[in-house]
Amino acid sequence: MHYVPFGRTGVKVSPLTLGCMMFGGKASAADSARIIDRALDAGINFLDTANVYNEGRSEEVTGAALKANGKRARVFLATKVHRPMDATDPNAAGLSRRHIIAECEASLRRLQTDHIDLYQLHRQQTDTAIDETLRALDDLVRAGKVRYLGTSTWAAWQITEGLWCSDRHHLNRLVCEQPPYNLLDRRIERELLPMCRTHGIATIPWSPIAGGLLSGKYRAGQPRPAGTRFFDTSTSPINAARWTENSLAVVEKLLPLAEARHVPLSQFALAWVLHQPGVTSPIVGPRTLEQFEDNLKALDLKLSATELKRIDEIVPPGSHTSPYYEADFGPHQHRW
C-alpha cells in the first residue's frame, strides 16, 4: 500500500478511505467488524463516519471494532457534525457552538476514543456565522479533542470564506473537503478541485460509484434487480434524482470500456476517480465484505490515456447528468 499526503498537514493516508455509513445499519456489527479488519490488513488507515449515520450506531460499531482489534492508534479516524440528531429539539442540529461541542463529546463516547483525527462540517449552515462555527472548532482542537478540521459538500466560495475567517481571527484552518464526485457528476472540476489544489486542501470524494448506479447492475431498458438500492426509488429522493435516462445512457457507453479491461464497471469507475488530479482518497461505503474486496481491486487498475480521453468524450469535464444529481453545493438558487 502506498500512502498519499493529506493536503498540507504532513499526515499520510491510504489512497482509499473506508466509509462506515452502512455500519450498524444494513451491515451488521459483526460484518462491519470484518470489513474494518480486512481494510486495516490491506493497509487502509483512513476511516470515515458521521454522528447521524444510523442514529449513532455507525460510530458505536466502528469504535467497538477498533477497540476490539487494538488498532485505533494506526487509524486516521474521521466523523462529522451538522445533521439533526433529535427531531424534537431545534438545537440538536446545525453548526452552532452548542451543537458542535455537544456532538463532539457524544461522538467521542460512541467511538470510544479520546480524540477525533478529522472533524467535518457535514453541510453548510447559512443562519450561523462562519466565525461562530470556526471558533467552536478551534476550541476543540486546542483542547486536544480534535486534530484536524474539514467540510463535506461545501462550495469553493464557502471554503474560501472559511480560510479567510481563520486567517483573520487566527483560528485553526479547514484542511479537507468531502465532495460528491463520480463519472455521472463532475461539477467539482469547475471550481472546487482547482481551489483545493491551490490552497492545499485534501479532497476525499464521496459516492465514487454514484451510490451503486455505476456498479454495472443497472441497464437501460432492463428491469431493476429486486432487492437492490434502486429497485424502488419512491422512498429515496436522492436515488430518484440519480435514476435518469441520461445517467443510464452514460452507463451504457461506459460499460464497453470496463468490459474491454475484463473488470466490473464499479472497479473501472472507482479507478477513474483515483486517477483524477487533486483527489486525495475516495470514500467507498461497502455493505458487504464482497463489495469491499471489489473496491480494493480498483487500486491496481491503471487507466490509459486513450481510456481517459474516451471517458471525457462520454462525460465531458465539469458535466453532470441531470439538473440535480448529488448535491446543490450551497444555499443559493443557482445549483452547480
User: Which residues are known to be catalytic?
Assistant: 53
- b/e per residue 34-47 (b: at least 16 CB within 10 A): bbbbbbbebebbbb
> 152 forms bridges with which residues in the sheet?
178
The label of the residue with cell 486546542 reads 142
**d(Cα 12, Cα 137) in Å, to the nearest integer?**
22
d(CA 16, CA 6): 12
Of 53, 23, 55, which Cα lies nearest the Cα of 39?
23
Q: What cell numbers appear for 19 in the block?
A: 466509509
Dihedral Cα 156, 9, 14, 270, nearest 10 deg:
10
How are the residues of the chain apportioned to helix, strand and coil, as percentages rounded to the nearest 5? 45, 15, 45
